[in-house]
Amino acid sequence: IMLFQIISFLLIFLIISRIVVRYVRHEIGGREFFYWMLFWLLAAGAILIPDALTRIANILGIGRGTDLAFYGSFVIVAYVLFRMVVRLDRIERDITKVVRHLALSDQDRSGNSKSKFPNSK
């Protein structure tokens, strides 16, 4: 075992411990917990047995294990970015609906369009 592997395992252990703490505190759900654990355990496996990643890459027709890791990381980042954009769009629509509802209900109650909030127009 090389020094870089030891340092990597310590870092991965700290990351996994934070994931477990967040899961126990119900800050992340079961599916998110599962995917993060899977990701970091696969990363630990690739660091421990780098030749296995190269063999898998060769089976898939990719020259090196590092190329496979790069391609896989790119796909994961692209997917996560897509999910974040979709979620952000949904949040923006929800906020617009809530603000519209509050504005209309405020207008209905007071009979005019004056806001209860100071310095707002």
Residues 44 and 68 in one domain: no
Q: Which amino acid is at 17?
A: S
pLDDT band at 106 (very low <50, low <70, confident <90, very high): confident
In a domain, 14, yes or no: yes
Residues 40 and 2 in one domain: yes
Q: Domain total for the chain?
A: 2
> What is the token pair recorded at 87?
């979620």
Range of the structural domain that residue 11 is part of: 1-48
Residues 68 and 39 in one domain: no
What pLDDT, in 10s, does the model give residues 65-89?
Answer: 999 999 999 999 999 999 999 999 9
Instruction: Determine the Cα–Cα distance for residues 53 and 69; give it in Å rounded to an integer.
Output: 8
pTM for the structure as a whole: 0.69
User: Phi then psi for 76, rounded to 5 degrees?
Assistant: -65, -45
Residues 76 and 103 in one domain: yes
In a domain, 54, yes or no: no
Residues 35 and 75 in one domain: no
Instruction: Determine the Cα–Cα distance for residues 9 and 17; give it in Å rounded to an integer.
Output: 12
Residue 64: name the closest of 75, 76, 74, 50 by CA: 50
